[in-house]
Chains A and B, each alone.
Chain A
Amino acid sequence: MSTATAISAANAAKDLIAVAMSGGVDSSTVAAMLRAQGADVIGLTLQLWDQNRLAGKPGVPTRSTGRCCSLDDVYDARRVAETLGIPYYVVNQQDRFEHDVVQPFVRDYLNGRTPIPCSLCNNHLKFDQLLKTARQIGATKIATGHYARNEYDAARGRWILRRPADLAKDQTWFLFGLTQEQLAHTLFPLGESTKPEVREIARSSGLTLADKPDSQEICFIPGGDYKQFIANYLDEQGERLPDSAGELVSTSGETLGQHEGIHNFTIGQRKGLGIFAPNPLYVLHIDPASKSVTVGPEMELNRASLLVHRLNWIGIAALDEPRRAEVRIRHSQQPTAATLEPVGEDRVRVRFDEPQRAVTPGHSAVFYDGDEVLGGGWILPPEAAAGAMGSAATAQGCC
């Protein structure tokens, strides 16, 4: 037998699983669990953003210690791989991350929307590019540290996505964009575990990072100051922050004050409005065309319905007729009862049983049936939802 034949025979034995390792407890534990089950495992870390890129600009230390793709996290992931005795590689996806996550993030804010970079990253990087790279290098599946469950339902002939056993850690809201192809090639080994159980597995597997704190912030904005990030990023690109200063207006159209740019606001925001009023005022609406920001009392934040577009269906192939569902419009919210109505091509109207607070364009609305994710889409601004200003530009959405 030639050398080459011996090598390929040795490699043909088992399926290879690529674990997406961030250097955090969850993904590290996934690698440990799969290894303990005897699987052939490799670790992959996506290098998504260079934390030192904007170093030295206003509000950014010259040597950043941020979380995302920091040297510390890569070091932690590498140490886990060494402890487990698995091959480990860092994959450079900085260009794609900038193009598919960072630039849409900046653009959304400048257009008066509030983006969710995690969902964009899942759709474009983790479950697209990473899976592609994993399969290119010979893996058959990827595994991630998301708290979610997926399984094949033979009756429907579809892969379904379910909320995890630990509902407090449920990450399905960020995963509504997964395609059938992606779900078929993904493992969520933490779906049946609680966070304390995961930390215990990490400890018993000898992982020194078992007590590492969870990350909370937007990974590429360590300090959390997204406004400063947008200014610094545009400055690095040789662009000026577009002048989107305008008026703060009441629901009756009365001018209450001035603001310095619509990117400083998000729906439901109360702080930083700079208006003295007898009762608290909240941002109700951001209009990128007129650059006006409408503010009003909290009760006016409530919306009985919303329109979503750029849909992805998981539990069902399509929505052909109205149906009941539960809907989440933010990660921190429990699903709430609503009716879904198909509205033409690639749009769904959501009618809530109880009006919902702070419907945020740029966010996603995810539809559930019990613990199962039916699908979801991106929330359109209300003018498009009302059909009054449903222009092509508005319908382009966040990417």
Chain B
Amino acid sequence: MQRIYMDANATTPLLPEVLAAMEPFWMEDFANASSIHHHGQAARRGVDHARERMAAFLGCQAAEVVFNSGGTESDNTALRGVLRPGDHLITTAMEHSAILTTAAHLEKLGVEVTRVAPLADGSMDPEAIRAAIRPNTRLISMMLANNETGVIQPAEAVGRVAADAGVLLHLDAVQAAGKIPICVEEIGCHLLSISAHKMHGPKGVGVLYVRRGTQMESLVLGGGHERRRRAGTENVPGIVGFGAAAEIARKSLADGAMERLSVLRDRLENGLLSRIAGCGVNGGAALRVANTTNLWFDSVDSEALVIALDLKGVSVSGGSACHSGATEPSHVLMAMGLDKTRARASLRLSLLKTATEADVDAVLEILPPAVERLRALSPALAGTLA
């Protein structure tokens, strides 16, 4: 059975060039990048080069790039490194759990938290964020693009809100990176999280952009790595891989890869909308990243649909996985105003940038009958005891 992967927002495979860039740093240039000797300098070169590539990717200075273990650590550091009891945090109701769980934790420690709901189209209203500002507001934390709907948030407008109020702005750009150009200078954010494995880099590597002069405490204490902003021996192969992935992403954004991908996504989305009655797009009215579509199907439980599609060779996602691996209805869709049933009936398809027309056409063949089968067997089996 041929397998089709349409869950790029969960993670992406390494590109061959990324693997090739990492290869020397496992066994040859294996040393500790902090060591002063020849071996250490070879590893340091790899880290420095990756940092420069990352700076070019984000439109910042190399010194503002902090490598760490991933998006979750970046989000944790941004919030916990900045906020103190008595401070006020403004975030949104549709953030990733790396933000929402950290915010709830800080709330218990005495940080005030406002979670602003998105508009029905899945985008944030910058004025709603402005209205939430208090005298003690210290930080605004918002996604740049939503993981489930792909909706791109008005970062520059929120950047102006933050600047007007004199508060810090953190962007969780994990789902945006590699899909839209990012320039931290233009946005005017102070902190920004990205993760390698969402953009064809290795798992276990992330970056927190920290604007020069931003007061932030390190979350991981120890040695003076990363300009004392993140202790721990550098994951050199991972960092090198992330640098290579960022460089490839920067070039492919300039080369129109996303325009090509959005044509494929629209072919998929429109194909499904025309083949299946009683379905629609969540966040379809807003500006979205090119690879994501989130669809609802009347009278369908997307958990069963995900399994049915998997058994037909198509990997997609519905809702978010809870601790056991079971699916919970998406808090993102519910924050947009969908009821639980509609949220449970929603499916996310997210294309790799290497996706082909054949992949899309295969899904257009497989998904409609799977939805039909679910709907046909949807009423409870006859005769069950009440």
Contact = CB atoms under 8 A, between A and B. Distances in A.
Nearest to B300: A136
Nearest to B306: A89
Interface in B349-386: 358-359, 361-362, 364-366, 373-374, 377-378, 380-386
A336 interface: no
A132 B385 contact: no
Given A4-B361, A4-B365, A71-B324, A11 B383 contact: no
Interface string A134-159: 01111000000000000000000000
A140 to B, nearest CB: 12
Given A2-B362, A7-B1, A137 B304 contact: yes
Interface stretch (B22-30, B67-75, B169-177, B325-333): B325-333
B82 interface: no
Contacts of B359: 3
Interface string B294-324: 0000000101100110111100000000111
A90 B325 contact: yes
B2 interface: yes
A91 interface: yes
Contacts of A386: none
A126 B106 CA distance: 41
B7 to A, nearest CB: 15
A124 B384 contact: yes
Nearest to B363: A4
Interface string A280-295: 0000000000000000
A3 B304 contact: no
A95 B305 CA distance: 18
A138 to B, nearest CB: 5
A6 B313 CA distance: 11
Interface residues of B, number: 37
Contact of A4 (B325, B327, B362, B386): B362
A182 B324 contact: no
Given A2-B361, A92-B328, A132-B380, A123 B311 contact: no
A181 B382 contact: yes
A184 B88 CA distance: 60
Given A4-B361, A7-B362, A74-B325, A137 B383 contact: no
A71 B323 CA distance: 8
A181 B304 contact: no
A204 interface: no
Nearest to A310: B385
B2 A131 contact: no
A89 B362 contact: no
B365 A312 contact: no
A128 B328 contact: no
A94 B323 CA distance: 13
Interface string A31-54: 000000000001001010000000
B384 A123 contact: yes
Contact of B380 (A2, A10, A128): A128
Interface hub of B312, B313, B381 (most chain A Cβ within 10 A): B381
B322 A92 contact: yes
Contacts of B383: 179-182
Most chain A beta-carbon contacts within 10 A, residue among B2, B304, B325: B325
A128 to B, nearest CB: 5
Contacts of A91: 303-304, 307, 326
B312 to A, nearest CB: 6
8 contacts: A3-B4, A4-B365, A4-B366, A11-B312, A91-B303, A91-B326, A137-B308, A181-B381
Nearest first, the 5 A-B pairs at minimum CB distance are A4-B365, A92-B326, A47-B326, A179-B383, A137-B308
Given A89-B310, A399-B386, 7 more contacts: A3-B359, A7-B2, A11-B311, A87-B310, A91-B304, A123-B385, A179-B385
